[in-house]
């Protein structure tokens, strides 16, 4: 795994409190399946290149079923050899659409040591413009997540449809998710969603099969048991589906639907992390940071946190910010921590909002700005952070009525 991660200089030590809770954003952050591509759906020019893909999955145990958020991308399980990478890049530059799709996927998931969404979009668009279905589906993922491009669910839906109509299971599954949620399409339509899930399920997509099983259970006014759900995830995981791997790992970690088994949890998280899944990367980082099952290794934890943070995983951004913010004599660490807290706070992560506020209040990594501090304390408090509410109340004693009014205006909630 080590050769896959960013080479990062500098070991920061210190006793830190790092969260190990759930991602606060509306979606879960996990990459997903390595569903095999239907060869009939691939241009005859390149059966050689078949990029793997990945969906998102939420953290809470009740989310054993997939969210209505579209899939993410993921890299091949094996680390490419240097010669293979050169060959891939040469084929992509020569116009091989399947190679372009795989190259874009590799940049999106950090297979080359860093995540580069703009470069990913460049190559996925090149593949999609040639009508390559997996390239279209993966580019749709980028639009649905706003990665490397402005978020545009309607454009994502168009791309998923083009891929789905060519028989691409990822396009079919993600299009089904959009119809289920009503995002990017004229209106939510569970019937149409089930039709697309059915098409993906017929190609062996275990996550689509789970969606259909849940719908049948709902119509029969019953619920799938956690054991039944774990069986779907196990099937998906064994097929190389990264969403299934991360979900199964979470179930083993918590003992939900299966007997609690930290070693099995580590096994499946490790496989998903090797594929660049942000959620799995985060939980592997937590494992190394805490020394659970594996020897404690802060340097390894930071490599993993960095990968997940680069992929936009708010919890990793927060944890990494806490590590940088510990300082220990390193230069400009507060500035880096501030940037990481900002990114996580913009995803409505309460702890990051509170830390960001404290940095503005103290002038750490930036000029002191008590109005901005009050604004972020207010946001964190509105998201249920009781400590932020206390700090906001304390800070209000130092501000004038006009400063508080300005902060409220920045929040978009002016005082009456």
160-204 pLDDT tens trace: 999 999 999 999 999 999 999 999 999 999 999 999 999 999 999
Contact 324, 337 (CB under 8 A): yes
pLDDT attached to residue 81 = 54
Q: What's phi and psi for 127, nearest 5 deg? A: -70, -45
Does 248 fall in a domain?
Answer: no
Contact 341, 356 (CB under 8 A): yes
Does 260 fall in a domain?
Answer: no
Does 364 fall in a domain?
Answer: yes
Among 338, 370, 371, which Cα is nearest to 356's?
A: 338
pTM of the model: 0.70
Contact 110, 310 (CB under 8 A): yes
pLDDT attached to residue 80 = 42
Same domain, yes or no, for 63 and 210?
Answer: yes
Same domain, yes or no, for 218 and 355?
Answer: no
Does 5 fall in a domain?
Answer: no
pLDDT in tens, 24-50: 333 323 333 233 323 333 333 444 544
- Count the domains in the chain: 2
Same domain, yes or no, for 218 and 354?
Answer: no
pLDDT attached to residue 70 = 53
Same domain, yes or no, for 196 and 55?
Answer: yes
Domain boundary among the residues 190, 222, 254 is at: 222
Contact 42, 98 (CB under 8 A): yes
Domain boundary among the residues 157, 187, 222 is at: 222
CATH of the domain at 120: 1.25.40.10
Domain of 378?
Answer: 350-416
- Give the confidence band of 138 by pLDDT, cuts at 50, 70, 90: very high
Does 19 fall in a domain?
Answer: no
Other CB atoms within 10 A of residue 12 CB: 18
Does 105 fall in a domain?
Answer: yes
pLDDT at 67 over 70: no
Does 250 fall in a domain?
Answer: no
pLDDT at 61 over 70: no
Domain boundary among the residues 162, 191, 222 is at: 222
């Amino acid at each position: 795994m080590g050769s896959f991660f960013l080479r990062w200089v500098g070991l920061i030590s210190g006793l830190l409190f790092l969260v190990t809770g759930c991602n606060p954003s509306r979606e879960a952050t996990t990459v997903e399946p390595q569903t095999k591509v239907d060869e009939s759906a691939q241009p005859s020019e390149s059966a050689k290149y078949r990029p793997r893909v990945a969906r998102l999955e939420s953290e809470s145990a009740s989310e054993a079923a997939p969210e209505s958020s579209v899939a993410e991308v993921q890299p091949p399980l094996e680390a490419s050899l240097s010669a293979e990478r050169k060959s891939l890049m040469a084929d992509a530059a020569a116009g091989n659409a399947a190679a372009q799709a795989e190259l874009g996927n590799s940049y999106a998931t950090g297979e080359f040591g860093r995540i580069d969404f703009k470069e990913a979009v460049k190559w996925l668009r090149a593949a999609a413009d040639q009508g390559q279905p997996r390239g279209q589906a993966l580019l749709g993922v980028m639009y649905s997540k706003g990665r490397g491009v402005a978020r545009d669910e309607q454009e994502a839906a168009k791309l998923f449809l083009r891929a789905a109509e060519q028989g691409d299971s990822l396009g079919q599954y993600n299009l089904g998710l959009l119809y289920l949620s009503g995002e990017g399409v004229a209106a939510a339509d569970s019937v149409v969603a089930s039709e697309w899930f059915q098409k993906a399920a017929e190609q062996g997509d275990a996550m689509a099969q789970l969606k259909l099983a849940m719908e049948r259970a709902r119509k029969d006014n019953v619920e799938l048991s956690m054991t039944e759900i774990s069986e779907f995830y196990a099937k998906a995981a064994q097929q190389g589906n990264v969403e299934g791997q991360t979900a199964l790992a979470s179930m083993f970690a918590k003992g939900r639907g299966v007997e609690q088994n930290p070693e099995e949890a580590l096994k499946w998280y490790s496989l998903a992390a090797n594929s660049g899944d942000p959620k799995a990367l985060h939980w592997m980082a937590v494992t190394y940071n805490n020394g659970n099952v594996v020897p404690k290794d802060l340097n390894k934890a930071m490599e993993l946190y960095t990968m997940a943070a680069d992929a936009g995983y708010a919890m990793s951004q927060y944890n990494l910010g806490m590590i940088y913010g510990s300082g220990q004599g390193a230069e400009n660490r507060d500035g880096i921590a501030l940037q990481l807290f900002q990114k996580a706070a913009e995803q409505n992560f309460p702890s990051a909002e509170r830390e960001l506020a404290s940095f503005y209040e103290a002038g750490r990594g930036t000029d002191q700005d008590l109005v901005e501090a009050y604004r972020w304390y207010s946001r964190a408090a509105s998201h249920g952070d009781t400590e932020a509410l206390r700090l906001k109340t304390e800070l209000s004693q130092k501000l004038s009525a006009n400063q508080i009014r300005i902060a409220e205006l920045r929040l978009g909630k002016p005082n009456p």
